[in-house]
């Protein structure tokens, strides 16, 4: 199945294009929508976990 396209908001995301997963912007790992917990509203990108989110935040500073 194709990856989903999402719009990331504060505390929630909206599915723009149906799919079962998104790809972590840092690690490239597939993340099932059911377990997606970390993303950036400003950058509109998902992360596999807190470590990847922190790593990306440090890159864009």
Q: What is the pLDDT of residues 15-32, one digit of tens each?
A: 999 999 999 999 999 999
What is the rounded average pLDDT for all residues in the chain? 97
Phi and psi angles of residue 21, each rounded to the nearest 5 degrees, phi first: -155, 165
Q: How much is the pTM?
A: 0.93
Residue boundaries of the structural domains of the chain: 5-60
**Residue 31 confidence (pLDDT):** 98
| 24-51: b (≥16 Cβ within 10 Å) or e | bbbeeeebebeebebbeeeeebbbbbee
């Amino acid at each position: 199945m194709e990856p989903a396209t999402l719009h990331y908001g504060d505390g929630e995301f909206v599915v723009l294009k149906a799919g079962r997963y998104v790809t972590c912007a840092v690690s490239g790992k597939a993340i099932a929508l059911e377990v997606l917990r970390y993303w950036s509203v400003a950058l509109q990108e998902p992360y596999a976990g807190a470590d990847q989110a922190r790593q990306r935040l440090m890159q864009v500073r």
